[in-house]
Amino acid sequence: MSEAGNPIVGHLGRRYEAISARLEVEVGERFLFAGGHEFGAVGPYERLVGRVRFAVDPEAPAQQARRPGLVERITDLDKAPRDEEGLVRFAADFSILKPVDPRRGNRRLFFDWGNRGNKRMLQFFNDAAASNDPKTLDHAGNGFLMRRGYTILWLAWQGDLLEGGGRMLMDLPLARDGERPLQGLVRTEFIADRRGITTFPLSGRASTRSHPAVSLDPKEARLTRRRYAESPRIPVPPQAWRFARSEGGSGLDAQGREEAVLPSDSHIHLPGGFEPGSIYELVYLGRDPLVLGLGYVAVRDFVSFCRYGAEDGAGRPNPLAEKGGTIEKAYAWGRSQTGRALRDFVYRGFNADGEGRRVFDGILPHVAGAGRMWLNHRFANGTSSGGQQYEDHFAPADTFPFSYAECEDHLTGRRDAILKRPESDPLVIHTQSATEYWQRRGSLAHTDTRGNDLPQPEGVRVYFWSSSQHFADPLAFKNERGLCQNLPNPVSTSMLFRAMIDWMDRWATSGEPPPESRIPRRADGTLVPFDEWKREFPEIPGVARPSAPNSLPLLDFGPEAAHGILLEEPPQVVGNEGYAVFVPAVDADGNDRAGVKAPMVAAPLGTYCGWNLRARGFGHGAMHEFSGSCIPFPDTPEERAMTGDPRPSIRERYPNPAAYVAAIQAAAQALVAEGFLLEEDVERAAAAAADWGRPRHDVRLEEPGEKE
C-alpha cells in the first residue's frame, strides 16, 4: 500500500501525516512531577500537558467499514463540516506522566481511559489521592506505577463533557443535514435524590452537554413519571412543566428568595419540584448532535502516534521519542463507563491503526459487566450509565455480543463476538465485582445468551472479585447509608489491580499466561438462578433482599439502530423472553463462594454484597445504582442469640484484634501464592486490618466496664 493511501504514516523517522489523516501535538506545560521525587531505579518523573489537533478524511478506509475486518462506520462523520482539504477537524486535551530519563523506564505505555473526563489510574493502581491535576507526592500514592517505570497517558475522548472539575475536554464537530440542523428523538431520565429540585439540564447531568430542544412548546414533547423502571408511564401534563431554567439571585424579594425562571432549550423546569422516588422520563425532538464516535479515532490515532511516530504533522517531535525513548508495549485500563468503552473500541475494530498495526497489546476492562459503550450513535449521551434495575434501565448499553467469545444470540439468531480480528485483537484481563452480576448483567460476559458456560479465547482471562462492589475507593470511605437501607460495602480491592498489570506485562512480553479465569460457573454450581440464590442467602434479621437481579430484555430501537440512529424512544420490549442473567452462589454467611477473594472477604467481618436497596421514599426496595452492602456480623455470641442472627459472631471467629490481623495476613499470603497479590501488599493488608479495620468497619466488642 502506498503512503498516500495510508490514513496514518507513523514509522520512526517519518512524519506522522498523510492525505487521509493529520495529527498535531501542542505541549503547553511541562514540569517535574512530585517535586522531582526519585521513584527507585526509574528516577524522577515529569508531566506534560497539552492539546492534540486531529484532521481525518471521512472517506478513508480507517474511518469506513468498506472491507471485512476494518473499523465500523463512524455515525454521522459524513455529515460533519470539512475544511478546504476535505478533512474533518477536532481536538482533545492530553496529559503524559513519564520518566525524565526514558531509558530508565520500562518502555511501556499505560493508557488511562479517563472515566467521564476524570483521571483515575493513579487513584486505583497507586492508592493515591484522587486528582484531575496530579502534581504532588500525595498524587503518586505508593508510587507503584512509577517504580515499575510506566509512561502514563491521558487523553480526552468524550466530546460532550462541559468544563469543570478539571475534566479533560474534547472539541468535536456538529453533524448537520446539509445547511439545516440535524434533528431526532432524544430521551433522558431525571431522578431526584432530595426534595426541592426544580430544574435539570436536558442531558440529566450538570457535567454533560444537552441536545437543544427544537421547540420550547411542552405539548411537542412527552414527560412521564413512574414508580419503578418497568412501571406504567404516567403523563405529566404539558402545562405542569417548561423548557426553562431557574436562576437564584443574591438577595430576597417580597416573597422570599429571589429567583427567575428563564426559557431554555437545554433545561427542563418543574415548578412543583421533581418528586424523589419517581423516575421522570422526557422524550423530545432535539437537534445538533456531535460526532461522538470520533472519540475512538482520537484514542486510536494518538496512542498509535505515541508508539510509532517520530514527528507530528507540524514537524514537532514525538515527546515519547526524546532522549532515545521508545515504546515497546501499550496497555489500556478503563473502569465502568470506560471499561465498556474499551470493549466497544476493540469490537468496532479501532485497535488497528491506519496501517493495520495493533494499538493496544493488552486491555484491562474493569466493572464493565456485559456492556459496551454506545458512543457511536446519533444523539448519544456519553455520560449516561449502563442500564441498572432502577436507573437508566432502558439505556442501550448492553447489546449483543456480550462476550469476547463467539456465540449465537438465541433471540435473533445472530452470531458475533467482541474479539473477531485476530491480527489486531489485544490480550484481555476482564475483572468485575459482585455488583456487575446484580446490576450490569455480568454473567453474560462469560456465558452464552441462554446462560450456559461459554469458554473464552486463549487470550482472555475473566476474574470475579468476590463480594466486592462496583466502586471501591482505596482511600476515601464513608460508612453512611445515604439513600440505601444497608451500610456500604467496604471491601478494598486496589491491591488486585497491581497484580493484574504485572500479569498483563508478563503475558504480552514473554507469553507467560496469567492464572486461569476465576469466575462463578454453571458447571460447578457457583453461578445460579436467582431463586436458588434466595434459598441460599441467610435469613438475617431485619435485612431485605433484592426482588431479582437486573434483567435484560430484547429491546427494539427501530430499523436504523444498527447504523447508530435510534428511532424508537423509549425502545420497545420484544417478546416475553429476555437474556439469561445469573448471580454468584453464596456461602452460609451470604458471601460469594467463587472468584478471587480479597483479604477482607476471605477473613470477613460481615456479609458483603454487590447490591444495596433503596430506602423508603427513594424507590423503596429497588437496587440502588452500583452500591454494595455490608451487613455486619453480630459482635458477640450474646448479641447473636438476642437477634436470632444465624451467622457466627465476630468474637466467635476472632478472639481478639490480633487474631483478625493474622487471618487477614494469611489470606493475603494465600493470594500471593495464587498469583493475585504482590508480596509488597501483604504488609499493607495487615496494617489496614489493625483496630478491626476501622474506619471501614464499626466493630464494638467491649464488654461493659472493660476495655478491649
Confidence band, pLDDT 50/70/90 cuts, at residue 252: low
The residue-averaged pLDDT of 562-577 equals 89
Query: What would the pLDDT profile of 107-124 be if each residue is shown by its tens digit?
Result: 999 999 999 999 999 999
3-state secondary structure of 541: coil
The residue-averaged pLDDT of 417-444 equals 97
Parallel, antiparallel, or unpaired: how do β-strands 88-99 and 170-171 relate? antiparallel
The pLDDT of residue 275 is: 97
The pLDDT of residue 142 is: 97
- List b or e across 696-708, with b for residues whose CB sees 16 or more CB atoms inside 10 angstroms: bbbbebeeeeeee
Q: Which long-range contacts (CB under 8 A, 24 or more apart) does 248-252 make?
A: none
The pLDDT of residue 250 is: 66
Kind plus residue range of the DSSP H or E element containing 130: none
Q: At what angle do helices 494-510 and 680-689 cross, to 10 degrees?
A: 170
The pLDDT of residue 6 is: 31
| 299, 155 Cβ separation under 8 angstroms | yes
Q: Where are the domains of the chain?
A: 1-178+291-324, 183-287
Query: What would the pLDDT profile of 415-428 be if each residue is shown by its tens digit?
Result: 999 999 999 999 99
The residue-averaged pLDDT of 75-85 equals 95
Q: Which are the contacts of 399, defined by CB distance < 8 A and separation ≥ 6?
A: 372, 374, 555
The pLDDT of residue 12 is: 33
User: CA of 235: how far to CAs of 215, 225, 239, 276, in Å?
Assistant: 19, 7, 11, 17
Kind plus residue range of the DSSP H or E element containing 572: strand 572-579
Whole-model pTM: value is: 0.95
Query: What would the pLDDT profile of 191-229 be if each residue is shown by its tens digit?
Result: 999 999 999 999 999 999 999 999 999 999 999 999 999
Which cell is 414 given? 445472530
Residue corresponding to grid cell 502506498: 2
Query: What would the pLDDT profile of 395-408 be if each residue is shown by its tens digit?
Result: 988 999 999 999 99
In angstroms, the CA 540 to CA 643 distance is 9
Examine the pLDDT at 18 and tell me if it is beyond 50: no
3-state secondary structure of 240: helix
Per-chain mean pLDDT for the chain: 93
The pLDDT of residue 253 is: 63
Which residue intervals of 455-605 are DSSP H helices?
494-510, 530-536, 599-602
In angstroms, the CA 304 to CA 52 distance is 13
Q: At what angle do helices 657-674 and 680-689 cross, to 10 degrees?
A: 160
Query: What would the pLDDT profile of 127-155 be if each residue is shown by its tens digit?
Result: 999 999 999 999 999 999 999 999 999 99
Confidence band, pLDDT 50/70/90 cuts, at residue 19: very low
Confidence band, pLDDT 50/70/90 cuts, at residue 20: low
**Residue 192, phi-psi category: left (phi > 0), alpha (psi -120 to 50), beta (remainder):** beta
| 307, 330 Cβ separation under 8 angstroms | yes
Examine the pLDDT at 35 and tell me if it is beyond 80: yes
The pLDDT of residue 73 is: 85
Confidence band, pLDDT 50/70/90 cuts, at residue 374: confident
The residue-averaged pLDDT of 235-254 equals 86
The pLDDT of residue 160 is: 97
Query: What would the pLDDT profile of 612-629 be if each residue is shown by its tens digit?
Result: 999 999 999 999 999 999
Q: Which are the contacts of 29, defined by CB distance < 8 A and separation ≥ 6?
A: 47, 48, 49, 50
Return the percentage of the chain with pLDDT > 70, whole number: 94
The residue-averaged pLDDT of 630-653 equals 97
